[in-house]
């Protein structure tokens, strides 16, 4: 029984971290049809923001949950203004430009911080389930993923910005004709996506530690999750996270973490063959 509890915590943690890591990418892709190849670097920037501010004496919770998303959100806003804005409608060029940005940021971080791994210790101690131990922080990450999903749903569904954003997503010209400031919606959406990436980076920083090129370790999973999910941001990300998280965990239990990743990739490639537009092209079609 206790063992089953531990297994399910592991599984839920895998799903939750997939959701957190992918959600920023999914928001930007779902709303703006842009694949942001610098997503991994947004995560890393979030981690650095959290670690540096906590070393500077900021409370660890504030550093992870507030400083990291705000800092990266602002960076995202600036990047949208300087870079992405000039490339709307040119999907491939946007990908290439964000890839250039990603290399640039890795280079910049390496120049500034060097190639060392930095870290902070996780703030919650272990909890005991029968004879086994689970990390309290894992439970916190699981809870946070649920809260973030609910918050994004709330913003998109119930706020004025969410209404404008969904309208712009469906038909930008019509939204503009009805008086929506489309370009402001785009930059806010991009900043929101970047902020979510920053939050994920901040929250995962105590678990993984951070060095400039660690973004590469996240982005593969994030891309696969978003592609498999399809265009519905929340339903797509959650369903793909559950499916791929399960595959990942089974692979990891059967062999090791690396082959879990391979299983995840193979599952996604086969899935794409039969559902090219992702899971939400067939299931949960009308969801957000």
Q: Does 18 bind other proteins (CB under 8 A)?
A: no
Helices (H), 182-278: 182-208, 215-229, 233-254, 257-274
Nearest-10 Cα torsion for 141, 19, 248, 286: 140
Cα 162 from chain centroid (whole Å): 19
- Residue 215 Cβ vs other proteins, minimum distance, rounded to whole Å: 9
The values of phi and psi at residue 142, to 5°, are: -60, -45
Report whether 30 contacts 236 (CB < 8 A).
Answer: yes
What is the sign of the dihedral through the CA atoms of 63, 66, 68 and 71?
Answer: negative
Q: Smaller CB distance to other proteins: residue 6 or 172?
A: 172
Per-residue x/- mask for other proteins, residues 90 to 129, rule CB under 8 A? -xxx-xxx-xxxxxxxxxx-xx------------------
Place of tokens 């969801």: 287
- Residue 221 Cβ vs other proteins, minimum distance, rounded to whole Å: 9
65, 87, 182, 288: residue in contact with other proteins (rule CB under 8 A) = 87
- Residue 258 Cβ vs other proteins, minimum distance, rounded to whole Å: 4
How many C-beta neighbours within 10 Å does residue 41 have? 30
155, 182, 246, 272: residue in contact with other proteins (rule CB under 8 A) = 272
Q: Taking contact as CB under 8 A, which single stretch among the options 14-22, 163-171, 201-209, 212-220 is the one that binds other proteins? A: 212-220
Q: Does 28 bind other proteins (CB under 8 A)?
A: no
Q: Does 75 bind other proteins (CB under 8 A)?
A: no
- Residue 232 Cβ vs other proteins, minimum distance, rounded to whole Å: 16
Helices 91-113 and 39-55, packing angle to 10 deg: 30
Report whether 264 contacts 224 (CB < 8 A).
Answer: yes
- Residue 257 Cβ vs other proteins, minimum distance, rounded to whole Å: 8
Q: Does 3 bind other proteins (CB under 8 A)?
A: no
For the chain, the distance separating the N- and C-terminal CA atoms, rounded to the nearest angstrom, is 36
Q: Smaller CB distance to other proteins: residue 100 or 143?
A: 100
171, 256, 282, 285: residue in contact with other proteins (rule CB under 8 A) = 256
Dig out the tokens for 231 from the structure: 């265009």
Q: Which residues bind other proteins (CB under 8 A)?
A: 35, 37, 83, 86-87, 91-93, 95-97, 99-108, 110-111, 216-217, 219-220, 223-224, 227, 256, 258-259, 261-262, 265, 268-270, 272-274, 276
């Amino acid at each position: 029984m206790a063992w089953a509890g531990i297994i399910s915590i592991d599984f839920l943690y895998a799903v939750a971290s997939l959701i957190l890591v992918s959600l920023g990418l999914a928001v930007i892709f779902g709303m703006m049809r842009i694949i942001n190849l610098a997503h991994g670097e947004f995560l890393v920037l979030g981690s650095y923001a959290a670690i540096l501010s906590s070393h500077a004496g900021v409370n660890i919770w504030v550093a992870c949950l507030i400083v990291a998303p705000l800092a990266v959100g602002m960076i995202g806003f600036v990047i949208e203004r300087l870079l992405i804005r000039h490339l709307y409608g040119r999907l491939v060029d946007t990908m290439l430009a964000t890839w250039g940005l990603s290399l640039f940021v890795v280079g910049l971080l390496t120049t500034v911080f060097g190639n060392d791994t930095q870290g902070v210790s996780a703030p919650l101690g272990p909890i005991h389930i029968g004879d086994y131990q689970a990390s309290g922080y894992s439970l916190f990450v699981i809870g946070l993923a649920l809260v973030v999903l609910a918050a994004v749903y709330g913003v998109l569904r119930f706020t004025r910005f969410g209404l404008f954003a969904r309208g712009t997503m469906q038909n930008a010209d019509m939204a503009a004709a009805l008086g929506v400031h489309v370009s402001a919606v785009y930059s806010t959406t991009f900043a929101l996506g970047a902020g979510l990436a920053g939050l994920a980076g901040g929250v995962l920083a105590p678990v993984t530690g951070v060095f400039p090129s660690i973004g590469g370790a996240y982005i593969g999973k994030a891309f696969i999750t978003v592609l498999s999910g399809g265009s519905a941001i929340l339903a797509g990300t959650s369903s793909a996270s559950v499916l791929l998280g399960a595959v990942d965990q089974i692979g990891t239990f059967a062999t090791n973490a690396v082959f879990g990743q391979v299983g995840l990739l193979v599952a996604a490639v086969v899935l794409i063959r039969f559902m090219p537009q992702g899971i939400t092209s067939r299931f949960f079609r009308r969801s957000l």
